[in-house]
């Protein structure tokens, strides 16, 4: 089906980079390239389809000012919570599901394996020129609770299952084969691993608090590749300090993690600086998604990833 068959006009589309603008060359659009960091280009008042810059931080309250014809905001991230309060009636908000799912799930599983197999300790031994064998944990036979049944959570569950673990997936809404958040408390005492892959909402803010962590058995691992504010940082630091739990964090609260923060020196924690989606090729995936979404919009077809 020709997705642009209904088009009888050229629309203005605002995108954050030249490569994304170039990907739209076969569509009847006028691309305006604007990262949001410099002065707004002429013609912004005609824009119907806006693609904000990836990893730009929380948007200013007036981010959509001067766009009276706006109909779609297409994000390049899976997270969307900071944009929700800014979206006016009549404007669709779409997230970047599919752009970063595989790479973020890969990092979640990679960080978890690094914890279980004690790779940081082996690296320390390497730097010291010390050949010291030790027995480590593995995923085989482990119980893994995945909080989030979206693109990232689904991929994590599939990966750990392939490595011999038993995955239980939890989501905010019930569906076949997926448990609900109100069942989590009863599941926690049996879990060796909890992977956080939920969006940050009022419902999930500080979901992983002191009571949540206390229900986990000794030696359990927490993995967070979602948003830092889903985890109560002080409660996690307290548990890590006792040596009872382990954690892999690609996101933190606060973020960036400031100098001197106790998470930096807490035992049994591995931290990466929010790089789940930061792999080579994400720009190409972004351009393909934006192209497909603009084509759908021009053809009057339903958009994907509508929040």
The one catalytic residue among 97, 155, 200, 227: 227
Catalytic status, residue 280 = no
Contact assessment for residue 276 and residue 100, using Cβ atoms and an 8 Å cutoff: yes
Q: Which of 255, 283, 288, 301 is catalytic?
A: 255
227 a catalytic residue:
yes
**In the annotation, is 255 catalytic?**
yes
Q: Return d(Cα 153, Cα 196) in angstroms, integer.
A: 8
The catalytic position among 179, 274, 285, 291 is 274
Which of the residues are catalytic?
227, 255, 274
């Amino acid at each position: 089906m020709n997705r642009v068959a209904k088009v009888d006009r050229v629309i203005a589309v605002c995108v954050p980079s030249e490569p994304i603008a170039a990907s739209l060359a076969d569509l009847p659009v006028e691309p305006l390239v604007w990262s949001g960091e410099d002065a707004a280009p002429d013609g912004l008042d005609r824009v119907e389809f806006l693609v904000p810059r990836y990893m730009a931080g929380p948007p200013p309250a007036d981010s959509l000012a001067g766009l009276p014809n706006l109909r779609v905001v297409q994000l390049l991230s899976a997270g969307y919570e900071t944009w929700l309060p800014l979206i006016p009636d009549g404007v669709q908000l779409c997230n970047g599901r599919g752009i970063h799912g595989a790479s973020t799930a890969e990092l979640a599983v990679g960080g978890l394996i690094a914890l279980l197999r004690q790779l940081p300790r082996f690296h320390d031994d390497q730097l010291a020129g010390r050949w010291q064998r030790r027995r480590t944990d593995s995923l085989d036979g482990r119980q893994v609770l995945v909080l989030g049944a979206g693109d990232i959570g689904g991929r994590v569950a599939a990966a750990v299952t392939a490595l011999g673990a038993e995955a239980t997936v939890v989501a905010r809404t019930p569906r076949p084969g997926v448990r609900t958040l109100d069942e989590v408390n009863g599941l926690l005492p049996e879990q060796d691993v909890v992977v956080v892959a939920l969006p940050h909402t009022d419902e999930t803010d500080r979901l992983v608090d002191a009571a949540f962590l206390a229900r986990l058995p000794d030696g359990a691992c927490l993995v967070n590749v979602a948003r830092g504010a889903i985890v109560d940082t002080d409660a996690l630091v307290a548990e890590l300090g006792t040596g009872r739990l382990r954690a892999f964090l690609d996101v933190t609260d606060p973020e960036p993690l400031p100098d001197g923060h106790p998470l930096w020196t807490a035992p049994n924690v591995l931290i990466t600086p929010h790089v789940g989606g930061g792999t080579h090729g994400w720009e190409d995936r972004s351009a393909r998604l934006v192209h497909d979404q603009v084509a759908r919009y021009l053809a009057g077809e339903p958009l994907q990833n509508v929040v």
